[in-house]
Amino acid sequence: MDQNNLNPAPESGTVIPVEQQIEKVDVAISNEFSSGSKKKYIRFTMAVLGSIPWIGSFISAAASLSAEKDQDKINELLKLWLMEHKDKIDKLNLTLTEIFARLDNFGEEIQKRIESPEYLTLVRTTFKSWDNAETEDKRQMLKKLISNAGVTTLCPDDLVRLFIKWIDQYHESHFLVIKEIYQNQGISRGQMWDKIHKGPRPAENSSEADLFKYLIRELNTGGVIRIERETNEYGQFIRKQPQYHPKGSASKTMESAFEETKPYVLTELGEEFVHYVMTDIVPQIADNNTP
């Protein structure tokens, strides 16, 4: 970062207002992420920086320093801040570079979309989650989602917000289940377990079985997966007739965590989630109406 941009020599005896000091620091940080070809994404960049707490905390610290006598302290604070957060800055810079490279593939026709208040609100929400993400996989999902949301309106903004919530809420174990169902529509719980885990199945009263049932239950109630059902010509689900069991013939044990007869599929929302978040796609430009 160019220190000369941060600290232009003031005239002797001049007192620099605190607002100007903070503005210089703010500009210096934003320039770190919006230099060169990234300048056309300045609104995107500022939305990102404004949503990340460790950047905002630095601006707040700088705000406590004022006037010419504190200029050296601001320079030193900025230097220490950059050293402390170097890895985070590098990771954020790389993420923004990759997003902007993807957006560049679609030319100027997306400029209106990526500068709209609605999209910039999604950017802020996404990068709050990105900053709090526990794993690199989640950060990659969020990067794909906000990139795809920038170049298409086929995925409504309400769905983008829902998908951000799912990424926040679910664990990698949930995503493994989603992946297996996506790749093997109609797969049973037993088949899922065998594909995800190697070795013998655990006992029904084990913590492993309880956790597996919990994952399935969460994804089911969350609207991501469901048991496959027949539909009529109007798309309505057909209710299954209860099976008749002669007196005394019903099983005396509970349904297995690794049940083999019920086929699981992704819901329509689940399909959309995989499409926009877990796979690389070639999205449509916002002005196109073709699916």
| Mean of pLDDT over the chain | 78
**CATH number of the domain to which 288 belongs:** 1.10.10.10
DSSP code per residue over the chain:
--HHHH-PPPPTTPPPPHHHHHHHHHHHHHHHHS-GGGGGGHHHHHHHHHH-HHHHHHHHHHHT--SGGGHHHHHHHHHHHHHHTHHHHHHHHHHHHHHHHHHHTTGGGGHHHHTSHHHHHHHHHHHHHHHH-SSHHHHHHHHHHHHHHHH-SSS-HHHHHHHHHHHHH--HHHHHHHHHHHHSTTB-HHHHHHHHS-SSPPPTTSHHHHHHHHHHHHHHHTTSEEE---B-TTSPBPPPPPPP--TT-S-SSPPPTT-SS--EEE-HHHHHHIIIIIS---PPPTT----
Of 79, 104, 129, which one is at a domain's C-terminal end?
A: 104
Same domain, 13 and 100: yes
Residue 66 lies in a domain: yes
Range of the domain at 193: 139-146+154-240+252-291
- 124-137 mean pLDDT: 94
Residue 129 lies in a domain: no
Q: Is the pLDDT assigned to residue 282 strictly greater than 50? A: no
Same domain, 100 and 163: no
Same domain, 74 and 175: no
- Which carries the bigger pLDDT value, residue 7 or residue 262? 262
Which band of pLDDT confidence, cut at 50, 70 and 90, is reported for residue 117?
A: very high
- Which carries the bigger pLDDT value, residue 65 or residue 18? 65
Question: What is the total count of domains within the chain?
Answer: 2
Same domain, 178 and 92: no
The neighbouring-strand residues paired with 225 are 266
Q: What percent of the chain has pLDDT over 70?
A: 64
Q: Is the pLDDT assigned to residue 22 strictly greater than 50? A: no
Q: Is the pLDDT assigned to residue 235 strictly greater than 80? A: no
- Which carries the bigger pLDDT value, residue 277 or residue 198? 277
Which band of pLDDT confidence, cut at 50, 70 and 90, is reported for residue 138?
A: very high
Q: Is the pLDDT assigned to residue 128 strictly greater than 60? A: yes
Residue 112 lies in a domain: no
- 143-162 mean pLDDT: 86
Closest by CA to 28, choosing from 98, 94, 77, is 77
Same domain, 97 and 161: no
Residue 117 lies in a domain: no
Same domain, 183 and 290: yes
- 185-192 mean pLDDT: 95
Same domain, 99 and 158: no
Residue 126 lies in a domain: no
Of 81-95, 135-149, 233-247, minimum mean pLDDT range: 233-247
Same domain, 168 and 291: yes
- 77-81 mean pLDDT: 68
Interatomic CA distance for residues 97 and 34, integer angstroms: 9
User: pTM score, two decimals?
Assistant: 0.74
Residue 116 lies in a domain: no
Residue 185 vs residues 59, 172, 225, 239, 240: alpha-carbon distances, Å: 50, 20, 10, 20, 20
pLDDT for 164 equals 97
CB atoms within 10 A of CB 237: 10
Same domain, 265 and 207: yes
Q: Is the pLDDT assigned to residue 203 strictly greater than 60? A: yes
* Most confident of the ranges 67-71, 72-76, 190-194: 190-194
Of 78, 104, 130, which one is at a domain's C-terminal end?
A: 104
- Which carries the bigger pLDDT value, residue 104 or residue 107? 104
Q: Dig out the tokens for 259 from the structure.
A: 């049940």
Q: Rg for the chain (alpha carbons), in Å?
A: 26
Residue 19 lies in a domain: yes
Q: Is the pLDDT assigned to residue 244 strictly greater than 60? A: no
- 204-220 mean pLDDT: 95
Residue 132 lies in a domain: no
Same domain, 273 and 163: yes
Same domain, 94 and 171: no
Same domain, 48 and 178: no
